[in-house]
Amino acid sequence: MGIILPDPATNKRYNMQSAYLKKRFGKKAVKISLNGGFTCPNIDGTKGTGGCIYCSAKGSGDFGGSPCRSISEQFDEVRKKLVNKWGDDLFYIPYFQANTNTYAPLDRLKRLYGEALACENTVGLAVSTRPDCISEETADYLAELSRETYLTVELGLQTIHDGTAALINRCHTYSDFLRGYEMLEKRGINVCVHIINGLPFETREMMLATAEELGRLRPHAVKIHLLHIIRDTVLAEMFERGEFAEMSMEDYIETVCDQLERLHPDTLIERLTGDGDRETLIAPLWSRDKKSVLNGIDKEMRRRNTVQGCLHGAYCN
């Protein structure tokens, strides 16, 4: 049987979100990371303290703006950096990234999201949050936004395994995730699910089980992250005590390819690895060479002669 590429124009063997956005809007659309000054229920004591054991002090918003500045000021600051990289013929998707960006009263969400959507050349909105921090009222508001703009709600799952979730201090279960996910799905809201490879004590079989479950759920998009061990985190203390080992590049590449085969072919791939802050990254140091990781994934997919969703019978003739 032959293989048909998801998008022959990109020559990639997975369904790239960047290509989807270019088709949808007619030119390149890029995210602008923002910090709305939110916290999390596993930081403020509502469910726990300390946050997830891998999170930096910035709540995974290391590349966003400063919460001391307005949303429009942050937008302009980040936009200028993107223009220097890509040129000025761009559309923008404001991205509320740091901490839990629905964890606030609805009037505050409306004010912050509205300010972001009013920024120049904005064609969408991305909101990163926890699945247990979406009320029915908030979900109804998000549904309104999704009818007006290209909205994606990004849910941090990380793993379907409750034992791992407890270890990393997520303070929610997989059942909690499903409730939040279904609340959004039934309203027709695009959902992007985040997962992390290399969490302490997880085997490849466990990571693949997480991907298989996402293949069943068929979310709009998925982000696959590598676990970064960042200085001054609980995770870093565990690593330095020798309690777990970092994932090798070879294992990571093979695991990601296995996961892509298990995801549904229509699911967009927003990320195949993450960016750790170079100044605070302890391990894996090979992750700094992001290009080699992505090239390695492409090479392995070609070697296998496989594509995203192949285990669902995708793109075979």
Q: For residue range 40-97, what is the model confidence (pLDDT) as tens digits?
A: 999 999 999 999 999 877 545 455 667 889 999 999 999 999 999 999 999 999 999 9
**pLDDT the model gives residue 278:** 82
Percent of the chain with pLDDT over 90: 88
Tell me how far apart the alpha carbons of residues 279 and 180 are, in angstroms, rounded to a whole number: 35
**pLDDT the model gives residue 317:** 45
Tell me how far apart the alpha carbons of residues 50 and 219 are, in angstroms, rounded to a whole number: 29
Query: Among residues 274, 263, 295, which one has the least CA distance to residue 6?
Result: 263
Residue 139 to residues 90, 183, 188, 219, Cα–Cα distance (Å): 29, 7, 10, 17
Q: Name the residue ranges covered by the structural domains of the chain.
A: 17-312
Tell me how far apart the alpha carbons of residues 140 and 226 are, in angstroms, rounded to a whole number: 33
**pLDDT the model gives residue 224:** 98
**pLDDT the model gives residue 4:** 75
**pLDDT the model gives residue 58:** 58
CATH of 17-312, one of 3.30.1360.200, 3.90.1150.10, 2.102.10.10, 3.20.20.70: 3.20.20.70
**pLDDT the model gives residue 66:** 79
At residue 310, the 3 state secondary structure works out as helix
Beta bridge pairs of residue 226: 197
| Residue ranges for the chain with pLDDT beneath 70 | 1-2, 58-65, 313-317
pLDDT digits (tens, 9 = 90+) for 275-305: 778 889 999 999 999 999 999 999 999 999 9
**pLDDT the model gives residue 60:** 55
